[in-house]
Each structure stands twice: as C-alpha cells, then as structure tokens.
C-alpha cells in the first residue's frame, strides 16, 4: 500500500525513514528533515554523491529508529529517473532489512527543476516498482515486499495530489503483473493457460473479455497465426479485452495489439541453443498490452481502449509449418514463409487485420519483441518506434521519455519494401537482405494496416533484463505498461 503522510517527524515514531540528499543543494524545507540531513552531512564519509548511502540509527531523540540517507549527486543532474532510482534503492534496503513499512521523504519540487506532480509520481513509481520480487518458484523467498510505503510530503501537497498514490499504485501493480507473466517459464504459460491468466485478470478488473479458441480462429481464417501454431502440441488462442469509457458515444477507439509467443524456438528454422531460454519472454508485448488494460480499468481514460493478444507457441515438429510454405492471412493476402523464426509478424498481421475490420480504430499500436536487429541497433534498454504518422510517433516518443521507457524513432522507407517480395506469393515474411531487419519487419506489418493510423513498437531489447536494476529485478521488466498508460492519459496524439 502506497500513501502520503504529513506527520511531523519527531512527533511520532518512524521505524525506517529514507532521505534523499543532494550533493550541492538543500532539497528539504521541513525543519526536522533539514536537521537530519545536517547530521548526515556532518560525517566525513557522506558526500551525497550519486548512489552513496549512509545509515544512522536513533535520530531525533530516538523517534527515527533507522534513517537511510541516499546521495542523489549534483542538483543539475537530478531528474525524474534519478528519483525513481533513489526510491527503488531505498525500498530494496528496507526489504533487505526485513522491514514491514517505511517512510520516504519526498524532495521539494521548487528545489529541483521538476513539476511537483512529476516529482511525486517518480518517487512513488520507483518505490512501488522496487517493492516487487518474483517468488512463485522459491520455497523460501529471501525478501518479502513491504506492506506499506508512506511518502512524507507537506500537507498541502498531500491534499493537492490526493489521487496520485492510488493511480501510481494501479499502474505499478499492472507493471509487476506483466513482469511476472514474462518471467514465468514456458511450461507454465502454454497458450491457453496464458490466455486464461489474461482473461481472469481482465475480468477481475471489470473489463469485458472475449477469447477466440483454435476452432474459432480456424473458422475466421487466421491463416498466418495458425501457421505459427501448427508445430505446437498446444493450441493457440486470441484474447480481446475491452474498456468502454463513460461517455462512449463520441469517444475515439484505440486498439493495442501485443505479440504473445509463449515460447519461440524458431520453429523448423530452429534457433541456436545459447540464450534460447530467454525466448520465454517472447510474449512481452502481450503482457504489456494486458498490463496496460488492467491499469486502464482504474485510470478510466476518455477513449475506448481494446487490447488484443494473439497467443501461440512456436515449435518444430512433424506438423510444423515448413520454410517455403505459403499461407493465406486473415486479410486475404498470401504469405510465403521464408523463415519460420519470423513468426511474430505472422501472428501480428492477423490480429491487426482482425482489429481493423472489427473495430475500425482511430489509432492502432502494436508492441512486440519482434527482432534481434532492433536490439543490435538500439541496445537492451531502448525500444524502436515506427510510424508513418509523425504526430503519433512523436506522442509515443514523448510519453516514453516522460516515464523513462524510451522509444527511438525508426524509419519506414518505401523502397525497402522490395526486400519482402516473393516470386509466387503476395509477400514474404523474410527479407532478402541480412541488414535492416527491424525495419523490414515493421514494413511487413505496414502492408496489413491499410489507412489506419498505426505505430509499431519493437520492444525486443527492453522487455527483459538479465540483471537487476534500481527498481526492477532480473527477468521481465514490464516495459510498455507505463508507456501506454502515459500515452492514453495525455492529451490526444
Ligand atoms: N522473438 C524473436 C526476436 C527477438 C530476438 C526477441 C532477441 C528478443 C530478443 C523473433 O521472433 C525472431 O526470431 N526474429 C528473427 C527474425 C528473422 C528470422 C527474420 C530475428 O530477429 O533474428
Ligand atoms: Mn522468432
Ligand atoms: Zn519471436
């Protein structure tokens, strides 16, 4: 539970207090807090350099039992992300110390060049996201999450931003749910199992859910998606989650589509053994979309929002699709399977064509761990965003910047389309060039979006992290949930 508190320090007892300290400026106005900081600064070993920490005990006449001072570095370098990292680290220290509750002193907005709402949101997010560990497979988890986190803010702020803790908590819960889905091994999220997990979570959140099973997918001719599922012993499904706003009549419709490959072996074009286990995370796009829908149920944006997740397992077997096979996609275009490992684009085109036909969306956004090439180009922390709609692409990049889920603009050059030509089918799922793989994958998708305003976000890099960072453990990162929430609650792109 996350909340604001404005109690005067030293009045009542605080078990664990975390205080951010700036290297070259005072960022707390409260008298008691300032006194605590002065005490820390009095010690030679604490310079408040970035990431430096100091623990002191029994301060303010014993009313503050444990006080953790964390350095933020120089004022000029402090931004929202520095504060998320601070709060995440503070929570980790408290968890390691086996605390049940903690208080985090929020810095003064005027002292940093940040709007107060952004500042509070960043601290709250870092704390909430840092307070999560994936323990499903541990008999004896090392750390338990804190039961309660209070942010110490002036009473006027607590009043002005009273809805903030609830909103941030809703978003962060959704992020952590997405993380857990991504980190769950492939044997515990077979397509229908994952589909059920999605639909259960969405129904519980009060959203409308519809699931298409294999029979229905066959009846509606999801030919490209079924071609990917053909090698697996486990049938595919497609989950469709809807949120309807209160004033639905003239609301815009935004459809989110997420790639849901529960495990990507590559199929007959099988991947090398090294690192293949990470392909359990090939449904991170779907996890982000469903996570965003769970948050949307609480954030209640003005638009109608629909989340669609095609879910399959990509396996080699006697029933698997062969390289060279030609399949008819939902849209009616035929696709030559140049490579069975380029499966993400196959399930996405069917889901997107279905979304366009059924919902006629004003905006369509897909998220997918689509290409290794995108990771080569942008590294493991930045997603690529592709769109012919400048405003939409910029809105996504700006939303990503605000929540530090960075999306870098990538091109969709028309003349590269010839790389996807097939001699006998309408298009090939494989580029004839070994270069520019993230771009050709996006161009392939673009052939199925017609006139719809559409953006594609390749999250192959940031969906998953080998190592823990300040407010995220190792494994699924939940990348995309906060980005989508920010995009949906900002002014219309
Ligand atoms: N799921 C992979 C992409 C991927 C790679 C995600 C690394 C996360 C980390 C995708 O299905 C894939 O295999 N893409 C191929 C496409 C190629 C065969 C055209 C790739 O990127 O190599
Ligand atoms: Mn693949
Ligand atoms: Zn894949």
Which residue's alpha carbon is at the smallest distance from atom 16 of ligand 1? 342
Q: Give ion ligand 2 contacts, CB < 5 A.
A: 264, 341, 343
pLDDT at 493 over 60: no
Q: Whose CA is nearest to atom 7 of ligand 1?
A: 372
Ligand nearest to the CA of 377: 1
Q: What is the pLDDT of residues 354-372, one digit of tens each?
A: 999 999 999 999 999 999 9
How far is C-alpha 338 from the chain's CA centre?
A: 31
How far does the centroid of ligand 3 lie from the alpha carbon of residue 298, in Å?
31
Mean pLDDT of 61-85: 97
250 burial type by CB count under 10 A (0-12 exposed, 13-18 middle, 19+ buried): exposed
pLDDT tens by residue, 22-56: 999 999 999 999 999 999 999 999 999 999 999 99
Q: Is the pLDDT of residue 11 over 90?
A: no
**Does pTM surpass 0.75?**
yes
Average pLDDT over residues 279-293: 99
- d(CA 282, ligand 2 centre) in Å: 8
Supply the residue whose CA is at minimum distance from atom 13 of ligand 1: 341
- Identify which of 258, 270, 277, 267 has the alpha carbon closest to the alpha carbon of residue 186: 277
Q: From the CA of 441, which ligand is nearest?
A: 1
Instruction: Note the pLDDT of residue 10.
Output: 86
pLDDT exceeds 60 at position 69: yes
What is the crossing angle of helices 191-204 and 164-183, to 10°? 170
The residue whose CB lies within 8 Å of the most ligand 1 atoms, and thus the one to mutate among 337, 338, 370, is 370
Could you read off the pLDDT of 198-256 as tens digits, one per residue?
999 999 999 999 999 999 999 999 999 999 999 999 999 999 999 999 999 999 999 99
All structural domains of the chain, each given as residue ranges with its CATH number in brackets, are 2-156 (3.40.220.10), 169-490 (3.40.630.10)
Distance 67 CA to ligand 3 centre (A): 46
> Which pLDDT belongs to residue 235?
98
Average pLDDT (52-70) is: 97
373-394 pLDDT tens trace? 999 999 999 999 999 999 999 9
Residues annotated as catalytic are 271, 345
Write the residue with the smallest CA distance to atom 3 of ligand 1: 371
């Amino acid at each position: 539970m996350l909340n604001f508190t404005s109690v005067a320090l030293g009045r009542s007892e605080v078990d664990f207090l975390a205080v951010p300290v700036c290297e070259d400026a005072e960022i707390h106005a409260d008298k008691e807090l300032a006194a605590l900081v002065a005490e820390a600064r009095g010690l030679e070993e604490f310079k408040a350099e970035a990431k430096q920490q100091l623990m002191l005990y029994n301060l303010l006449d014993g009313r503050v039992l444990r006080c953790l001072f964390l350095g933020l570095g120089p004022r000029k370098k402090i931004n929202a992300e520095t504060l998320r990292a601070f709060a995440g680290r503070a929570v980790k220290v408290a968890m390691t110390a086996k605390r049940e509750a903690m208080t985090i002193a929020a810095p003064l907005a005027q002292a940093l060049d940040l709007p107060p709402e952004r500042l509070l949101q960043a601290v709250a997010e870092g704390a909430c996201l840092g307070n999560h560990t994936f323990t499903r497979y541990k008999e004896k988890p090392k750390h338990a999450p804190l039961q309660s986190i209070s942010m110490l803010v002036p009473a006027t702020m607590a009043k002005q931003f009273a809805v903030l803790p609830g909103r941030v908590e809703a978003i962060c819960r959704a992020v952590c749910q997405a993380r857990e889905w991504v980190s769950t091994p492939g044997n515990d999220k077979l397509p229908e199992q994952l589909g059920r997990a999605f639909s259960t979570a969405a129904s519980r959140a009060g959203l409308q859910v519809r699931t298409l099973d294999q029979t229905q997918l066959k009846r509606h001719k999801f030919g490209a998606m079924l071609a990917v599922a053909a090698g697996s012993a486990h049938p595919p499904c497609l989950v469709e989650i809807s949120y309807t706003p209160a004033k639905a009549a003239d609301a815009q419709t935004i459809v989110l589509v997420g790639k849901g490959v529960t495990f990507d072996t590559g199929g007959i074009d099988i991947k090398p053994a090294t690192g293949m286990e990470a392909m359990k995370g090939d449904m991170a796009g779907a996890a982000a979309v469903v996570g965003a829908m769970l948050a949307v149920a609480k954030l209640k944006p003005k638009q109608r929002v629909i989340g669609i997740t095609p879910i399959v397992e990509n396996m080699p077997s006697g029933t698997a699709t062969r390289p060279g096979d030609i399949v008819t996609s939902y849209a009616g275009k035929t696709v030559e399977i140049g490579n069975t490992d380029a499966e993400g684009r196959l399930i996405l085109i069917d889901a997107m064509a279905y979304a366009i036909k059924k919902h006629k969306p004003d905006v369509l956004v897909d998220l997918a761990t689509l290409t290794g090439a995108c990771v080569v180009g942008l590294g493991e922390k930045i997603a690529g965003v592709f769109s012919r709609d400048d405003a939409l692409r910029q809105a996504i990049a700006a939303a990503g910047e605000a929540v530090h889920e960075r999306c870098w603009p990538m091109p969709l050059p028309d003349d590269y389309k010839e790389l996807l030509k097939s001699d006998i089918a309408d298009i090939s799922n494989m580029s004839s060039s070994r270069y520019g793989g993230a771009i050709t994958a996006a161009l392939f998708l673009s052939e199925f979006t017609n006139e719809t305003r559409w953006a594609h976000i390749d999250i192959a890099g940031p969906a998953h992290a080998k190592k823990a960072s300040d407010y995220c453990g190792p494994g699924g990162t939940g990348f995309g949930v906060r980005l989508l929430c920010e995009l949906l609650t900002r002014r219309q792109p």
